[in-house]
Amino acid sequence: MNKLERDLINNLQGGFPICTHPFQVLADRLGYHEETIIDGVKKLISDGYVSRFGPLYNTERLGGAVTLAAIAVPLDRFDEVAEQVNAFDEVAHNYAREDALNMWFVILAEDEKNLQHVITRIENATGLRVLSFPKEREYFLELHLEVPDQ
């Protein structure tokens, strides 16, 4: 990764200006040409270092209901249960984790009532208990990811 790409990743995880020519503002700030910045962001996306460029929306503030849920899945049923859980449109992310609670997924629903309904349906489909860990409080993150030295 070159200096431009590192500069972009380290300086552009937030604070992209809202104005007529935001890339120009950024270019002036970082000491590049506008088109260099735009091409640099395009390349970061095409190389896969960046998954998206734009606003990061906060689901809860849009009025949806969200929870992090977990199941202790018997190992011999793991793939089957993953398929059952993933079949729900409301399940956004699902990760296998090394713990007794070995399947962790995010459920997004229209509202609280629908969220509870989805949890019940997942329990019925899998025959397993779903533990729900809704966010009670979020702590402000001051800093962002830095490109690792390697």
Residues 118 and 135: their CA atoms lie apart, in Å, by 17
* Smallest distance from other proteins to CB 122, Å: 13
* Smallest distance from other proteins to CB 38, Å: 5
* Smallest distance from other proteins to CB 71, Å: 11
* Cβ within 8 Å of residue 47, ≥6 positions away: none
Residue 142, CA distances (Å) to 36, 55, 139 in order: 28, 18, 9
Give ∠ CA 85-49-144 in degrees, rounded to 5.
85
